[in-house]
Amino acid sequence: MRTPTSPDRPPRPAPGGPGALRADCASCFGLCCVALPFIASADFARNKAAGEPCGNLDADFRCGIHARLRTGGYQGCTVYDCFGAGQQVSRETFGGRDWRQNPDTARAMFDAFPVVRHLRELLWYLTDALGHEAARPLHPGLRALLAETGALTRREPAELARLDVAAHREKVNALLLRTSELVRAPVRGRKKDRRGADLMGARLRGADLRGVSLRGAYLIAADLSGADLRQADLIGADLRDADLSGADLRGSLFLTQMQANAARGDTATGLPPALDRPAHWS
């Protein structure tokens, strides 16, 4: 999570621009640091209940240990991305009324944040799908769902609380699956379907994974150095501590900044243009 003082913080995105689905922490009331629970683990130094402010959150909603999150036991914070839900809930849904000065809004704000975050993740995937020429036959349906999902994020807090996110996600996913099939179809050779596969620690150095479905695959600590992942479907793939050094992920499907942040890579790693190269990569 970036803060306003972070040297790698990108410029504030223009409304509707390419960066609009990325976190702008300067415009947020630290919602991910309050609304979400932490579980003591390799990612978080201590437990924290949902709705309880993190002890490192300063009065101005900045992170007090931002420069040493990784060494301070909060690696999970450096991986997380809200897809811009934080600034939308803070500035649009609640009109800039922060939960400290307006405690009566706190519960509704904390409840709205994860809902909007889920919806904005779907906006990311739909936008990604529209960027693939092979999926052109599906573009009208994708654009319609993009507009519908965007409208859902703009609902009032009470409406967001009643929203069946799982049902909407299922509808979106049906079209994302069809997109995946169209984009991966031109890749020559028969490609294995590795959806949900347990590939933890797998030795896949230099592997040709073009067009492979790795949806929801467990690639924790896998060696993917030098692997070719172009046109691979990576939606939901767990890339924590995976080695992506020299790997080619250009043109891959549905890769998010969170997945890149969770992995290890280097200057030779090829990323889709919508993603930033994580600061901790060599």
Percent of the chain with pLDDT over 70: 93
The angle, 0 to 180 degrees and rounded to 10, between the axes of the packed helices 139-153 and 106-130 is: 170
Pair 39, 115 in one domain: yes
Q: What is the pTM of this model?
A: 0.90
Pair 218, 177 in one domain: no
275: number of Cβ within 10 Å: 15
Return the pLDDT at 228. 97
206: left (phi over 0), alpha (psi -120 to 50) or beta: left
Return the pLDDT at 133. 96
Pair 172, 201 in one domain: no
Above 60 in pLDDT, residue 4? no
Per the structure, the count of domains in the chain is 2
Pair 144, 214 in one domain: no
Pair 260, 222 in one domain: yes
Does residue 84 sit within a domain? yes
Residue-wise pLDDT for 146-180, tens only, equals 999 999 999 999 999 999 999 999 999 999 999 99
Does residue 12 sit within a domain? no
Does residue 10 sit within a domain? no
Pair 69, 102 in one domain: yes
Return the pLDDT at 16. 41
Residue-wise pLDDT for 64-116, tens only, equals 998 898 888 998 998 999 999 999 999 999 999 999 999 999 999 999 999 99
Q: What range does the domain containing 138 cover?
A: 18-182
55: number of Cβ within 10 Å: 11
C-alpha span between 54 and 31 (Å, rounded)? 10
Does residue 242 sit within a domain? yes
Of the residues 163, 182, 201, the one at which a domain ends? 182
Return the pLDDT at 214. 98
Of the residues 160, 182, 204, the one at which a domain ends? 182
Closest CA to 240 of 209, 212, 219: 219
Above 50 in pLDDT, residue 6? no
